[in-house]
Amino acid sequence: MLLSYLKIAWKVLLRRKFFTAISLFGISFTLMILLVVYALIDFAAGPHRPELRSDRLLFINRIQLLYRDGGTSNSSMGYAFLDRYARPLHTPEKVSISQSNWGTAVAYVGQQVLKLDRKRTDGAFWQVLDFDFLEGRPYNQREVQDGAHVAVVSETTARRYFGTAAGVAGREMVLDAVPYRVVGVVRDVSLVRLHSYAELWQPISATADNLRDSEYLGKYQAIVLARRPADVPLIKEEYLQVINRVPLPDPKRYSKVNSRAQTLLASSLGSNENATEVEGAAGPFLRVVVGLGLLFLLLPALNLININVSRTLERSSEIGVRKAFGATGRQLVGQFLVENISLTLLGAGLGLGLAAGVLALLNSSHLVPYASFGLNGRVFGAALGVALFFGILSGAYPAYKMSKLHAVKALKGDLAA
């Protein structure tokens, strides 16, 4: 039966090629836009290296101090604060503390000046994240404690400084007029991975900052790795209880301290609202994206419904014959939905091809440094889901209208019945 429906659907698509082309253009263009947006969000907040275990990761990177006379101070966090209140959490498997943003290290290659984005981290940084090491190793906690002059560099940094990314581990690199030994080379990390991105990573002990400074506000973050995804809510609650017991830095000036352990998406949005909502700005952001997506999907769906209604009424004689030979309304609805879903799946295939082309153009433009946007299983799944939803949404009403046509009036061409 399904094979017969598919054969009929193919014949119907070929019958009015112009309308079919219009329908396919609307479907594929709509899906292309939606898939490109989804692929960008997935690349920024999905499970990609180095945040490969994103379902087990939480980020503590914002703190909010409420003034008694109104107003707030929002910032990244002090190292000593995180070391005292985040690192001792009991539920996580690992807690790492690193710079929230990146600074600049200067190196010279002949007469050329290289300004490299540098992030300072502890040894656990390499255990909670999954960098792709091309050679060498990460520096360990002992080297961090000893203040060793070691560094991990990205593939591009190695090429810019040494002229090659191979055989770099163990070689010396002079940064800010200080020699460091390169212990590892990792594949480039995209700039959109704010928590882990850098072109050069060095031990946090090499910083000139006073890591014992008791200021709550600072320029550091904690990355928390849960033992399993089910522990994520427990860690959020444990950290919240710790924050509720944190003493006010100045009780006469401040009334409350807020901070949250948040998911990758919520922390990446970097909203100051993270202190008042469990997921920070992630919830409103997703609601807006889904709402706009549905609205964007609804417009071509209405157009396709009109085209489908016209095509349905053109087939009134066929419907009348089928009804005269005993076809039920459910069978006719099923047939038409199969035809419409086949059309939308064909459009989804074209939309995927167009989306792949747009993402390839974005990559070649280097608009986002070190970004490598692309299609993956999640994007394919989203395309399939959207195509099915789009097919049912645009085909349900014409199918229902077709099933209600009276057999005799349909044969007479009385479409007003």
359-400 pLDDT tens trace = 999 888 888 888 888 888 888 888 888 888 878 877 787 777
Residues 171 and 325: their CA atoms lie apart, in Å, by 83
Nearest to 29 by CA among 349, 295, 354: 354
Looking at residue 417, its pLDDT comes to 46
Point out the least confidently predicted range of 2-6, 151-155, 262-266. Answer: 2-6
For range 47-62, the mean pLDDT: 94
326-336 pLDDT, tens digit per residue, is 777 777 788 87
- Number of neighbouring beta carbons within 10 Å of residue 302: 11
Residues 6+ apart with CB under 8 A from 229: 55, 56
pTM of the model: 0.83
Point out the least confidently predicted range of 163-167, 273-277, 359-363. Answer: 273-277
Inform me whether the pLDDT recorded for 206 exceeds 60: yes
Region of 199 (left: φ > 0; alpha: ψ -120 to 50; beta: rest) is alpha
Residues 17 and 13: their CA atoms lie apart, in Å, by 7
* 69 SS3 class: coil
Looking at residue 157, its pLDDT comes to 97
Residues 6+ apart with CB under 8 A from 410: 316, 317, 319, 320, 323, 417
Confidence of residue 13 (pLDDT cuts 50, 70, 90): low
Inform me whether the pLDDT recorded for 405 exceeds 80: no
The two tokens of residue 68 are: 């008694």
Adjacent-strand bridge partners of 136: 184
Looking at residue 97, its pLDDT comes to 97
